[in-house]
Structure 1
Amino acid sequence: MADDRQLPRYRVLTGPDDDSFCWRVSEALDLGYELHGAPSLTFNGDRVIVAQALIRDES
């Protein structure tokens, strides 16, 4: 895994609303990211797609 100096301070995770997406967000939280705002959801005609912004405090 990348060390802290290589992690961006801001990132947005996107993907289908499934267990895999939840695990990706959980892993980011374990790396020190915090949720930034509410998730955004849309329907692409096939499934629900979710986006979640995260920030990481470097101090």
Structure 2
Amino acid sequence: MSVEGKVKEGAGFIKEEMNEHGKSPESQKKAQEGRDLRNEGRIEDGKPPKTTKPGTGH
């Protein structure tokens, strides 16, 4: 597991969590950006990407 992958996954998690409950399109876009960053880190570490919609709790 790479340090860079763990950092990306952690930063993406925080960005997603901060924005997932917002109703505005901008907030939803930021939540998706966080999910994308999180998945990039997960893939680098050999984990499967999260495929559910941000904010669904899965």
Structure with more helix by fraction: 2
Structure with more strand by fraction: 1
